[in-house]
Amino acid sequence: MPSQSSSGSQACTVTTEHSLVTTTTAGTYLLRLDFNAAVEGTTPDRFRVQAKTKTLSSSTARYEQDYSFEGNQYLDNFSTDPICIVHSLEYTLTQTTGTSRTVDWSLVRVDV
């Protein structure tokens, strides 16, 4: 049964990579985000969501998933692909262009 591990709202600063959440609890997780505030236009809102994981507990965290979004989304809510971790998982959000927006998010553990 899925459970919410963590959640929040991120007020984006354009071009800044924001760390949303980090967990070191082994499990399978996905990140859900709400992009309902994103807009089209001459300079559309663009976002990048990335997941960093470690292969070993002593490893450096490296990018494993990368998603990009531009403008108004047909489906406002987005969920990343599930990712199984043993050592560490960090999700980041970067708004690369547009007007700074706030994005609600929640980390969901799907193997509880």
Q: What is the residue whose two structure tokens read 């001459």? A: 42
Whole-number Cα distances in Å, 103 to 20, 26, 78, 110: 10, 26, 11, 22
In order of their start, the domains of the chain are 3-109 (2.60.120)
Question: What are the pLDDT digits (tens) for 71-93?
Answer: 887 778 999 999 999 999 999 99
- Reported as a pLDDT band with limits 50, 70 and 90, residue 2 is confident
Give the rounded percent of residues in the chain with a pLDDT score beyond 70: 98
Instruction: Give the mean model confidence (pLDDT) for residues 30-55.
Output: 94
Find residue 94's DSSP bridge partners. Answer: 17, 48
Separation between Cα atoms, residue 17 and residue 101, nearest integer Å: 13
CA pair distance 83, 81, nearest whole angstrom: 6
Distance CA 37, CA 49 (A): 16
Question: What confidence category does residue 1 fall into, taking pLDDT thresholds of 50, 70 and 90?
Answer: low
Q: What is the mean pLDDT of residues 34-61?
A: 94
Query: Rounded distance, CA 46 to CA 18, Å?
Result: 14
| d(C-alpha 104, C-alpha 35), whole Å | 8
Which DSSP symbol is given to 14? T
